[in-house]
């Protein structure tokens, strides 16, 4: 039984796979623990990416807000 | 393998090398501003806070070398930032008296906020570090797809690569990021 790569599973979960391949992958995942585990690990990576985006936005916003609020003061 | 000859901040910390003012300022300014925000400091006070904290850490020198016998760096810098915030708050009220109990209780309440801010800071440092470990095209694909939320097709089209290559870049960068964040947590 051929297992799926991380990238193939990314294609599968993001609908970048054609319908026929998708049906085969769905069937495979029903019976393959290791591919299912890999799919779960990709979902965990999504959580990390969500956190990363949120944290980077927060830091950027703090710096931008301060710079914007200082602008009128520097123009005085 | 790193793709640059410039020594990263993490490498300098690990090897006990001196860190320049500019490098430190770029890396830590957002964290200090965020902490100032927790205490509702005014914009000018937050900029003052950044400068005072920097001065306190560099103590007149152009480079900084952290003495590990002082404990973890995250605790060291937190103490400096909190002390300087308390000083700014006292100055705001023209109080030349020690910090009152309320100030301390406020600092305790905001302990959880500090943990979140430190984690944000680590992630930002990790992203800077990541750039040194992957090829520019890989980093760009990751930024577009992983950070800026472009679809895999959009990122692929913009970079003129395949969708599969976008996913390879994303997965490579995520694995490296996990490792870098873990290293930073251990080192700082």
Q: What is the mean pLDDT of chain B?
A: 86
Q: What is the pLDDT of residues A27-51, one digit of tens each?
A: 999 999 999 999 999 999 999 999 9
Contacts of A63 in chain B (CB under 8 A): 29-30, 33
- pLDDT tier for residue B109 given thresholds of 50, 70 and 90: low
Report pLDDT digits (tens) over B84-104. Answer: 998 998 888 776 555 555 555
The pLDDT confidence band at residue B9, using thresholds 50, 70 and 90, is confident
Q: B156 touching A, CB under 8 A?
A: no
- β-partners of residue B63 are B20
**B5 confidence band (pLDDT: 50, 70, 90):** very low
With CB atoms and an 8 Å threshold, state whether A48 touches B121.
no
Q: How does residue B105 score in pLDDT terms, banded at 50, 70 and 90?
A: low
Question: A interface toward B at CB cutoff 8 Å?
Answer: 6-7, 10-11, 14, 16, 45, 48-49, 51-53, 55-56, 58-60, 62-63, 65-66, 69-70, 73
Alpha carbons B109 and B38: distance in angstroms, whole number: 10
Contact criterion met (CB < 8 Å) for B149 and A53: yes
pLDDT 10s digits, A59-71: 998 888 888 877 7
Confidence at B2, pLDDT banded by 50, 70, 90? very low
CB B111 within 8 A of CB B102: no
Identify all chain B residues contacting A13, using CB atoms and an 8 Å cutoff. Answer: none
Query: Are the beta carbons of A66 and B43 separated by less than 8 Å?
Result: yes
- CA B35 to chain CA centroid, Å, is 12
Residues β-bridged to residue B20: B63
Q: What ipTM is given for this predicted complex? A: 0.88
Judged by CB atoms closer than 8 Å, whether chains meet at B123 and A55 is answered as: yes
Instruction: Report d(CA B181, CA B161) in Å as an integer.
Output: 28
Strands B63-64 and B19-20: antiparallel
Q: Of A15-29, B46-60, B133-147, where does mean pLDDT reach its minimum?
A: B46-60
Residue B35, classified by CB atoms within 10 Å of its CB into exposed (0-12), middle (13-18) or buried (19+), is buried
| B177 compared with A69, residue with greater pLDDT | B177
Arithmetic mean of pLDDT, B109-121: 89
C-beta separation of B6 from B132 below 8 A: yes
Cβ–Cβ below 8 Å for A60 and B30: yes
Give the mutation candidate from A10, A15, A51, A63 for the B interface (greatest B CB count, under 10 A): A10
Give me the domains of chain B, ranges plus CATH numbers: 1-123 (no CATH), 133-188 (1.10.10)
pLDDT score at A72: 64
Under 8 Å between Cβ of A74 and B47: no
- The stretch B118-125 carries a mean pLDDT of 95
CB contact under 8 A, B174 and A70: no
Torsions phi, psi of B133, nearest 5? -110, -10
Tokens of B28: 């830590």
């Amino acid at each position: 039984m051929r297992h799926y790569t991380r990238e193939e599973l990314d294609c599968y979960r993001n609908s970048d796979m054609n319908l026929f391949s998708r049906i085969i992958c769905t069937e495979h995942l029903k019976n393959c623990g290791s591919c299912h585990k890999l799919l779960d690990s990709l979902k965990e990576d999504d959580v990390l990416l969500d956190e990363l985006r949120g944290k980077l936005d927060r830091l950027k916003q703090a710096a931008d807000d301060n710079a914007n609020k200082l602008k009128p003061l520097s123009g005085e | 393998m790193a793709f640059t000859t410039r020594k990263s901040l993490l490498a300098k910390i690990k090897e006990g090398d001196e860190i320049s003012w500019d490098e430190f300022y770029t890396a830590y300014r957002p964290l200090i501003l965020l902490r100032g925000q927790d205490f509702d400091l005014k914009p000018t006070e937050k900029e003052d806070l950044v400068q005072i904290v920097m001065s306190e850490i560099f103590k007149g020198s152009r480079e900084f070398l952290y003495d590990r016998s002082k404990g973890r760096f995250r605790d060291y810098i937190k103490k400096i930032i909190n002390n300087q915030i308390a000083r700014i708050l006292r100055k705001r009220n023209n109080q030349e008296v020690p910090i009152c109990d309320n100030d301390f209780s406020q600092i305790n309440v905001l302990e959880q906020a500090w943990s979140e801010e430190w984690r944000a800071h680590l992630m930002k440092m990790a992203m800077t570090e990541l750039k040194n470990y992957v090829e520019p095209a890989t980093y760009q694909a990751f930024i577009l797809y992983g950070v800026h939320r472009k679809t895999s097709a959009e990122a692929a089209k913009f970079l003129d690569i395949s969708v599969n290559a976008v996913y390879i870049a994303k997965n490579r960068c995520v694995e490296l990021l996990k490792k870098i964040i873990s290293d930073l947590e251990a080192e700082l």
